[in-house]
Every structure is written in structure tokens, then in C-alpha cells.
Structure 1
Amino acid sequence: MSHSSTSTAADSPAMAEVKIRRYVDEDNLVVKDIFSLGMHEQIPYFFLHILKQPHIQMLLVSVFCVLLAISRSLLLAMLGVTLLLAAGRQGICYMIYSYIQNSMHGDFSNIHQSYLEKPNSCFWVAESQGQVVGTVACCPAKQNEGCVELRRVSVKHSHRGQGIGKALCRTVADFAREQGCPAVVLYTSSIQINAQKLYEHMGYEKVREFARPELCSSITKVMVVKYMLDLQQPGN
């Protein structure tokens, strides 16, 4: 089944005609670029989220006061806090980079094998004027038997706000219905507010929030948010 469609997203009149089609190997490089750029765009949001945490603010104030008391120099105290902030941002960059690399060595290492050769799995791209501008995928949900998990949804920055993300989400929901799946689940992070708004607009309901067991999660306070779209509910 090719599962290709053309969408004009009636709720977004500014959007040019967009074709949603299955991934082909010629899309490989641009798909990876869209994913990588989208992840790098999360760095400032991640950094701002961490700076808002009370324990991080307390740490910065404590470091400033200690350095000021020891050096009796306002300049050195400010420099010390600035260096600490710079180190923190580099740490965030490293985490994002590591996630990208793990993805490239994981499902992105062979997209065709990961998504197009397995049941209840697929990978699509959104094409506008012959250019790939978005991606989405799905695979069987590990924690919800019989359901599919929406993954890898991303739209180029230059093409956001045009309804492409909604069209990609609809494609996964339609595919799941065709496979007889009762629901679609997805996981996102608590800092991806725009993504959460998109999913909620598409009828997804928040199921739960939880922290990953890694040490960095206890420091950053970035939660994983699970959403579910009940396909058996009227209107979905």
C-alpha cells in the first residue's frame, strides 16, 4: 500500500499544496538533516527550562556568593557564574548531540529496514513543490499492545505554521485505522510546548508524565510526556 495523499490543510489557507508519501531511499540525507536541525533547535528551550529551575538558580547564586566572598571581586564572581552557565550549555549541546548520534546509529541507520519492512510500521515525508519539508513515522507501540507509536515527526522551520505537522499526524492516524489499531501513542518532552499543543489540537490526550532514570533527568527536571489518540472514540 503506497499510502500517498495530497493535502491543502483547510485550517491553514497559507499552506501550499503538500503531498504526503512513503519514504524512499533517495530521501535519506534530507530526512536526517530535518531531524538533526529540529533537535538542535531545542537547545535554547532546553537551556531556558533548566535556568528556571529553583535548584539551578540556587546553585548559581551560591557560586556567585562564594566566589565574591573569596575573591572580593564582583568581576571574578560574575565571570565564574558565566563560565558555569557556558559549561551547562555545552552539557546540553552534548546531550542533544549524543541523542542525534544514537538515533543515526539506531532507526535512522536504515530507515527502510526500520519502518518499511515491518508490520504496522511506516515512514512518510511531506513534499512541497518537489522539496521534502517534513517527516513522520510509526511502529508498534512497545507498552500498548496492538497500538502504534507516532515517531520522528518534524517539519522544516521555514514551513511551519502551514498545517504540515497536522497533515503528518493525520497520516499516521489514518494508517493506524487501516491496520485496525485501537489507538496511537507518542512520547514527547515537557519542554516541547508547541509539539504538545499540536498533539492536543489533533485530539491526543495526555496520559502521564515521568522522568527517565538517567542522572541528568533529576538535574534538568525535563519530563517525558505520553499522549494517546483513542481511535475508537467518535471524532478521532
Structure 2
Amino acid sequence: MASIQIRKYRDDDAEAVKETFTLGMSEHVPSSFMHLLKQPPTQMVLMCTFCALLTSSKSFLLPILTVTLIMAAARQFVVHVFNKYIDTSLKKDLDNITETYLKQKDSCFWVAECDGRVVGTVACLPNENIPGCLELKRASVRRSHRRMGIAKALCRTVADFTRDRGYAAVCLYTSVVQTDAQKLYEHMGYEKIREFLVPELFAKIMNFTLIEYRLDLQRDRKKD
């Protein structure tokens, strides 16, 4: 059994952390693309295009090729959206984790280390819109080290940190396509508070919603 250590971030972890985050986010491209294809407007466009070209061309080849090209373009659109989000996240906080998390009050960033290699990350900081709550962020575990309890250990680390600083709850946001993450959080005792549509245009096109979860530490303590 590999030895897993959860520790605070160090500056020499920077590249491994950014790689872990980037790989983790890129994994959601296929599920997001399938989510887009399941939306009624997408299906209507594909069906109308196919039927119109089939009627006008009297051939199956042209409509099939056209629909295939539209789907390929849609997938590239999803890739572009995720790449943009990754770049924004790197510039926002992951390019300077020490300043963003370690030097700020009631904030921290941890890594999971296995045999000297960073295989997981998690962070937290005060949520500006929810008083008395720390927000869990940047949770990610490399695919090669999943099903080993690392994600649960990272979540518990944030919960303990939050409780020790006198906060009442941990909150977090995940997306509709991150079904494994939803199962993990619900297993850890988080409750789904609400679902809402991301305000950006791409989210409206994809019907891409975020889910807010909350872990009540006071109630969790009573259970203990």
C-alpha cells in the first residue's frame, strides 16, 4: 500500500499542482460534450440540418458529413471553453498559490503526496457571499491514484481546518457533469443547497449548471 501524506503546499510543488489541475479539468471535456448533445436545442439543430439537406440533396452522404462536422465543431467549442477556464484559473490563483492562499487569513492549500510525487490538491478560503463559511476549492486527484481514499482525506483536511478556525460550515461548487465529485461530497455528508446556471453565454448555450453544496460542521460535530 502506497504511503499518502497530506501536507501544506510548498513553492516547489507549483508545476505538479498546475499539471494535476489541468489534467483533472480536461477529463470533463467528453462528459460536457455529451451533455451538450443531449440538450433539446442541439438535437433540434442537428435534426433540422440533417432533414433539410436530405430533402434538398436527395443523398445521405451530404447530411451525414454536415452533421458530423457540426458535432466536431461543437466538441472543439467545449475544448475551447475548458481551456479558457483553465487559463483563467491559473492566472487567478494557481500561478501564485502562496500569495492567494498561504498568506491570507483563514486560507490554506494542501497537496497529497505519494512516494515523493504530488497526486492530489485541495484548498480553502473564506466565501465572500456566505458569512461563517469557508469554501473548498481546487480539489483534484490524479486518475492513477483514485479509489485510494485520497479525495476523502483532502475533504476531511479542509473540514478540520474550517472547524479549528471557528467556522460553521464548508461550502463548495461543482458542475452538473462532475458526477463522481457529487457522489463523493454527498457521501462525505455535504447537502445540495441549490443549482444555478453559469451566467456566461457558453453556459446558457450548453445549459451548464453549477451545484452548491454545504457541510454543516456543527451538526457534523453533534453526530460525533
Are residue 18 (structure 1) and residue 4 (structure 2) matched?
A: yes
2:115 to 120, 124, 129: 129
Instruction: Note the C-alpha offset of 1:128.
Output: 1.0
Normalising by structure 2, we get a TM-score of 0.97
Normalising by structure 1, we get a TM-score of 0.92
CA offsets per residue over residues 54-112 of structure 1, 9 Å max, x none? 22112111110111122222101000000000000000000000000101111012000
Q: Secondary structure at 2:96's aligned position in 1?
A: helix
CA offsets per residue over residues 17-49 of structure 1, 9 Å max, x none? 211000000000000000000111100010111
Counterparts of 1:49 and 1:16, CA distance in 2 = 36
- In structure 1, stretches of 5+ residues that fail to align are 1-14
Pairs aligned (count)? 222
Are residue 171 (structure 1) and residue 171 (structure 2) matched?
A: no
Are residue 235 (structure 1) and residue 209 (structure 2) matched?
A: no
Counterparts of 2:151 and 2:161, CA distance in 1 = 16
2:189 is matched with: 203
Instruction: Note the C-alpha offset of 1:183.
Output: 0.2
Amino acid at match of 1:120: D
Q: Secondary structure at 1:195's aligned position in 2?
A: helix
- Using the aligned pairs only, state the percent identity: 54
2:44 is matched with: 58
Amino acid at match of 1:95: V
Counterparts of 2:182 and 2:208, CA distance in 1 = 14
Q: Secondary structure at 1:144's aligned position in 2?
A: coil
Counterparts of 1:51 and 1:161, CA distance in 2 = 29
Counterparts of 2:43 and 2:125, CA distance in 1 = 40
1:108 is matched with: 94
Amino acid at match of 2:40: P
Partners of 2:33 and 2:78 within 8 A in 1: yes
2:126 is matched with: 140
1:11 is matched with: none
1:36 to 12, 22, 32: 22
Amino acid at match of 2:58: R
2:174 is matched with: 188
Partners of 2:29 and 2:79 within 8 A in 1: yes
Structure with the larger helix share: 2
Greater mean alpha carbon deviation, residues 25-34 or residues 206-215: 206-215
Q: Which consecutive aligned stretches of 4+ in structure 1 deviate over 2 angstroms post-superposition? A: none
CA offsets per residue over residues 194-218 of structure 1, 9 Å max, x none? 0000000111000000001222222
Are residue 220 (structure 1) and residue 190 (structure 2) matched?
A: no
Counterparts of 2:58 and 2:200, CA distance in 1 = 38
Amino acid at match of 2:164: E
Amino acid at match of 2:173: Y
